[in-house]
A and B are shown apart, each in its own frame.
Chain A
Amino acid sequence: MDFTNFNVEEFFGMGDDTNPLLWLIWIIPIFIFVFYGQRIQLQVSSSEIKKNITKLKQFKDNSRQDLINYIKKNLNTTKDPTPKIDRFIDYFTIMPVDMDPGGIVPKVRHVIRSREDNTREQVKSLFSNVSELERTKVQTLLEVVTSLQLLYKIVNHLYLTAKKQNNYPLILPLQMIMPFIMEEANALNDAVPTLKQGQPIGDGIGPLVVGKMMLGTKKQKISFETVFTQTEYEGRKLLLMKAEGPLATVGRPGDAIESIVHQNKPDVIIMIDASLKLEGEDSASIAQGYGAAIGGIGTDRFQIEEAATKHNIPVFAIVIKQSVKEAINLMTKEIADKADEVQAQLYEMINDTTKPGQTVLVVGVGNTLGVSQ
């Protein structure tokens, strides 16, 4: 190609023999994009977000309706549960002031416990007679509906604010975070049928492993919705602990470990839990590590770390990697099939870290729905 005879006037269409109409055709869009570019981008981004908001609204409405139908169809209600359910869904929690140097954790625990206790009593009051399993299922479903409602409200608020202010930069963070919000919302929405039927979820792999080891032993309650038993393995005393199955509960592992450590002074604590996998990691892969493997708001982990530090007890962890969706949905075959391998790794870890005559506390962390002991 020959660039030596390049003519600026010809290139910009300003020569004598050019059509002014053609000149306008390509100069006008430049002006449009300079002055209205952000608004156009706002329109394009917001149409995608709007679609997701409609989806979030559907999830929220469907899960609410599913919960109400489930209660009406399967449980003996004293009166129409709809107004009370609608009130629960909008409940909020005000976290304690975080500038307190004296210790915020007990205050957070107090607020969370108060919420749990009150919700439990309110759920119980809906029925004339309800089993503990059904009560915990309704409570968990209520949490799912509340979470979906919260996601919808926050996303809708950010979207409407950006639209109202015609502010493109305001919608950018929302656009970036939207795929993650939708992943969680999809997982929550898909979890509803699993929870209604009382099937084990991916998070229940820890209780599944420990529950199997508890079979045939005498179980006792150690804290609220948490059971504990003793057994032996190659000369070591094994203290086994998990949430009380097959209820839809995680129990109170913080209180339970604190109490067991105080009474039995174990030499080692081993925690088995589900863990969120990183992108690229294989689902149902097993990993070992150090520290308290437990999720939640952090109050239980704090209690466990405090008790372990006070008595100088090493804490080891075995985790089973999975996605958010796998963690709160019906346990996959791949995860369920890993239970025996986790148990084998646990025994190997006990042999490696303790000597005969010592005591090991093994904790199965997670929601034990559909998993007994």
Chain B
Amino acid sequence: MFSKKVEKRDPFTVEQCNSCKKETKRKFKEEDYVFKETSVCSNCQGKLIITKIFGEIVKE
């Protein structure tokens, strides 16, 4: 009755294209870090940069 609910957070990475500003969210991969250039934007061939890495509560 008085036991605390344990929240589990899963890590996610948000990438943003530096030219078209399109944002994509994906699961965190090892060696990700904020402001790392990861790949090329599929929309406009701009550079994709990681803008956020955060934990979000897993809904069970």
Contacts and interface: CB of A to CB of B under 8 A. Distances in A.
Interface stretch (A52-60, A109-117, A306-314, A324-332): A324-332
Interface residues of B, number: 17
Contacts of A331: 53-55
A244 to B, nearest CB: 12
Interface residues of A, number: 23
Contacts of A337: 52, 54
Interface in B3-60: 9, 11-12, 28, 30-36, 51-56
A197 B33 contact: no
A287 interface: no
A198 B30 CA distance: 8
B54 A215 contact: no
Contacts of A212: 35, 51
Given A197-B28, A199-B28, A370 B33 contact: yes
Interface in A316-373: 329-333, 335-337, 339, 370-373
Nearest to A246: B33
B11 A332 contact: no
A69 to B, nearest CB: 16
Q: Is the interface of B mostly helix, strand, loop or mixed?
A: strand
A253 interface: no
A251 interface: no
Contacts of B51: 212
Given A199-B28, A333-B55, A246 B34 contact: yes
A245 interface: yes
A329 B36 CA distance: 21
Contacts of B32: 370
Given A199-B11, A199-B28, A330-B11, A371 B55 contact: no
Contacts of A246: 33-34, 36
Interface in A196-249: 197-200, 208, 211-212, 215, 245-246
29 contacts: A197-B11, A197-B28, A197-B30, A198-B33, A199-B28, A200-B34, A200-B53, A208-B34, A215-B35, A245-B33, A246-B36, A330-B11, A330-B54, A331-B54, A332-B9, A332-B54, A332-B55, A335-B54, A336-B52, A336-B54, A337-B52, A339-B52, A370-B34, A371-B33, A371-B34, A371-B35, A372-B34, A372-B35, A372-B36
Interface of B: 9, 11-12, 28, 30-36, 51-56
Given A329-B55, A335-B54, A371-B35, 4 more contacts: A197-B28, A212-B35, A337-B54, A371-B33
